[in-house]
Amino acid sequence: MKDLLRIADLTEHDLAYLLDRAAHLKRHPSAAGDPLQGRTVLLYFAKPSTRTRVSTETAVVRLGGVPLTVGPAELQLGRAETIADTARVIGSYAAAVVIRTFDHDEVARFARSAEVPVINALTDAHHPLQALADLLTLREHFGDPRGRRLAYVGPATNVTHSLMEATALAGISLAVATPDAYRPDPEAEAIARKIATGGDLLITGDPHEAVRGADAVYTDVWLSMGDPPEQRAARTAALTPYRVTADLMAAAAPGAIFLHCLPAHRGEEVAADVIDGPASQVFPQAANRLPTAQAVLEALVAGILAGAQ
């Protein structure tokens, strides 16, 4: 396996390995040594980022390498050099390439032309690095999360699609509550059902049905970076009944935790007393972006993941 473009690229064993390794690197950040000594990793961000950029840059440094972070205006891509040519050239300098952009297919095309690992740092369709940190957080909180129940309440986003694939592969049940207009991409749903190793996937319009008995409740922003801003009013109207409030959390299992990929909008997708309350695990979850990014970079550069077909 050369690239991580979506969680379904991993086998069940690869996923378990990455989570074990991330947990170890979290306790022993230097345990990986310096496999990137004298090498660079190119990070290309066509959208803003706080967590992904800083955690991945830090992960590169912890592996002994140097991160080079650029935006569209700094590469000739912005002046119509092809993705294929860019990928071939950068692959001859850097040890790996990390890409955040809009169209998932562009990252896939880049990966096909690059000889080095390519990591999806968020596209409109998937956010695999986030899902790894989400699973590590569940694992820290519940021990082995296999058999646990997670509810996602809000519009289906890149984060939702990666969560669907990650929970399926890890044997966790997931209930997604979303209005009809914002249901998950059928392709991501089909893949999640195909790779499941246990657990159920329920897609419903009813937030209370989704959270009933859930061990964790997750939400994401109502308007993602790749969504047209003119959709804001329609999304707000449709999604207001899907806000995660203290009342909704009370319908989950006793001791249920709250998760959010961040950035969050208090008073929109989540009430302030939930995200800032005792059930919230959003900051440990964000902190887990670093060891999971370090584990992914280390494993891909070493070429040790089997990868799903």
Q: Find out whether 220 is annotated in a ligand binding site.
A: yes
281-285-291-295 Cα dihedral, nearest 10 degrees: 130
Note if 261 is an active site residue. Answer: yes
- Quick one: which segment of 112-120, 172-180, 221-229, 237-245 binds ligand NVA (CB under 6 A)? 221-229
Rounded distance between C-alpha atoms, residue 163 and residue 149, angstroms: 12
- Quick one: which segment of 142-150, 174-182, 192-200, 216-224 binds ligand NVA (CB under 6 A)? 216-224
Does residue number 162 form part of the binding site for ligand CP (CB under 6 A)? Answer: no
| Residue 220 interface partner, choices ligand CP, ligand NVA, none, CB cut-off 5-8 Å depending on type | ligand NVA
Q: Which string of x and - marks every residue 249-288 that binds ligand CP (by CB under 6 A)?
A: ------------xx--------------------------
Among 86, 130, 137, 173, binds ligand CP (CB under 6 A): 130
**Cβ neighbours around 309 below 10 Å, total:** 5
User: Which residue lies nearer to ligand CP by CB, 49 or 204?
Assistant: 49
Backbone torsions φ then ψ of 267, nearest 5 degrees: 90, -10
Among 43, 98, 132, 159, binds ligand NVA (CB under 6 A): 159
Contact predicate 188/168, CB 8 Å: no
Instruction: For residue 131, give both structure tokens.
Output: 């899902």
Rounded distance between C-alpha atoms, residue 280 and residue 284, angstroms: 9
Which residue is catalytic, options 3, 21, 62, 130?
Answer: 130
Closest CA to 159 of 191, 187, 130: 130
Query: Which residues are catalytic, by number?
Result: 100, 127, 130, 220, 261, 289
